[in-house]
Amino acid sequence: MVTMHRDAVLRPAELIRAAGVARRYYLDGASKVDIAEEFGISRFKVARVLEDARAAGLVRIDIAVPAQIDAELSDALRVRYGLTDAIVVATPEGHEESVRQSVGRIAADYLTEIITEDDVIGLACSRTLQETVFALTTLPRITVVQLTGVHPGGVKENSVELVRRVASIARGPAFPIYAPLVLSDAASARGLRTQPQVADAMRRYRDLTKAIVAIGSWDPPESLVRDSLTKAEATALRKRGVRAETCARLLDDDGIPVTDLDDRVIAIGAEQLRKVPEVIAVACGTRKARAIHSVLTAGFVTALVTDTDVARVLLTSET
């Protein structure tokens, strides 16, 4: 937004000319060449007058970002972690569900902005991603591939239903995975991966252009993978240093993979995920802040959508 002020410290004739030049350039959209002809001065003089007008306070330019996005925190977070994009949603104090809904709506807008008809999309599952999918209204025709097996609870719609919903919005093919997220042993998981429907979906991982992922926390616990394990299994993995997860791949505080569970999960592999050109994480809530740091440090993610409280924790943390 451009605001014109009348109390600039300029002499009367200078004030009148500067106001006229600035109005024609900033408000009317006239070119410097046209303004030069109109005022009988060179285009270089036009540029100088515009500089003088701004320096004197005659013109003030405001960058008006919608109130629901914190542009300053977004840019700071992008720089801190070397991301392509970081979008920090300015969420009012309230229930966790309202924060997830706000983040989900902005994430849906972002996905609508960046997804093109050439994309093959991978989709994970979480409560925040569920809100993201619920907020989607339109997408170009794309292929949608499920990134993780099905967790038995914790969300209103499981990963199969989310993939089908997005594919329906996009009027494109869906490749769901009708298999559990975590199996009791490696042999069972290996057998499921050879099933035609599961194998067909997982073959699509090599074609992914964008992956939309969630982030789970192990301490404090807010994790679909952890919820799928026995208490003894979860305790043993936590002792191994597990702090976070994304797409059922476990990480420690420093973003280093902990691979103990890899052969028991039905999900995209860590190295496969690294090869996806764009990986967008959607996660919120300060309980997940350390886990989000771990995943960002691991280098899987190219873009993040989160809330202001998480952003402040990440930017002030010494880790």
Residues 113 and 52 in one domain: no
- The mean pLDDT of the chain is 91
Residue with tokens 């420690």: 252
> Among residues 21, 39, 61, which one ends one of the domains?
61
In a domain, 36, yes or no: yes
Contact yes or no for 123/144 (Cβ under 8 A): yes
Give me the phi and psi of 86, to 5 degrees please. -135, 130
Q: How would you label 196-216 residue by residue, b for 16+ Cβ within 10 Å and e otherwise?
A: eebeebbebbeebbbbbbbbb
Whether residue 204 lies inside any domain: the answer is yes
**Model-wide pTM > 0.75:** yes
**Is 43 inside any structural domain?**
yes
47/76 same-domain check: no
Regarding whether 143 and 24 lie in a shared domain, the answer is no
Domain end (from 10, 36, 61) = 61
pLDDT digits (tens, 9 = 90+) for 56-92: 888 887 666 665 889 899 999 999 999 999 999 998 7
Range with the poorest average pLDDT among 1-5, 68-72, 168-172, 309-313: 1-5
For residues 85 and 57, membership in a common domain is answered with: no
Q: Would 66 be classed as within a structural domain?
A: no
Mean pLDDT of 44-50: 92
Count of domains observed in the chain: 2
pLDDT in tens, 109-162: 999 999 999 999 999 999 999 999 999 999 999 999 999 999 876 556 689 999
Task: Please name which of 290, 228, 283, 211 lies closest in space to residue 255, comparing C-alpha atoms.
Answer: 290
Strands 85-89 and 59-61, sheet pairing: unpaired
pLDDT band for position 17 (cuts 50, 70, 90): confident
Length reported for the chain: 319
Q: Indicate whether 82 and 34 sit together in one domain.
A: no
Q: What pLDDT is attached to residue 64? A: 60
Residues 50 and 116 grouped into a single domain: no
Same domain, 56 and 127: no
Residues 138 and 14 placed together within one structural domain of the fold: no
Regarding whether 95 and 20 lie in a shared domain, the answer is no
What count of Cα atoms within 13 Å lies in the side-chain half-sphere of residue 149? 23
Same domain, 136 and 16: no
Domain boundary among 61, 79, 112: 61
Is there a single domain that holds both residue 235 and residue 311?
Answer: yes
Gap between the Cα atoms of 103 and 85, Å rounded: 15
- Tens-place pLDDT, residues 182-222: 999 999 999 999 999 999 999 999 999 999 999 999 988 89
Q: Domain with 136 in it: what CATH number?
A: 3.40.50.1360
Position 75 in a domain = yes
Domain extent at residue 103: 71-316
Q: Does some domain include residue 216?
A: yes
Q: 230 and 128, same structural domain?
A: yes
Rounded distance between C-alpha atoms, residue 33 and residue 35, angstroms: 5
Q: What is the DSSP string of 255-284?
A: S-EE-TTGGGB-B--HHHHHTSSEEEEE--
Is 167 inside a domain boundary? yes
Residue 300 counted as domain residue: yes
Count of alpha carbons within 13 angstroms of residue 296, beta-carbon side: 28
Q: What is the largest CA-CA distance in the chain?
A: 86
Q: What is the pLDDT of residues 270-282, one digit of tens each?
A: 999 999 999 999 9
CB 234 within 8 Å of CB 260: no
pLDDT at residue 94 tops 80: no
User: 244-291: per-residue pLDDT in tens?
Assistant: 999 999 999 999 999 999 999 999 999 999 999 999 999 999 999 999
Domain at 26, CATH number: 1.10.10.10
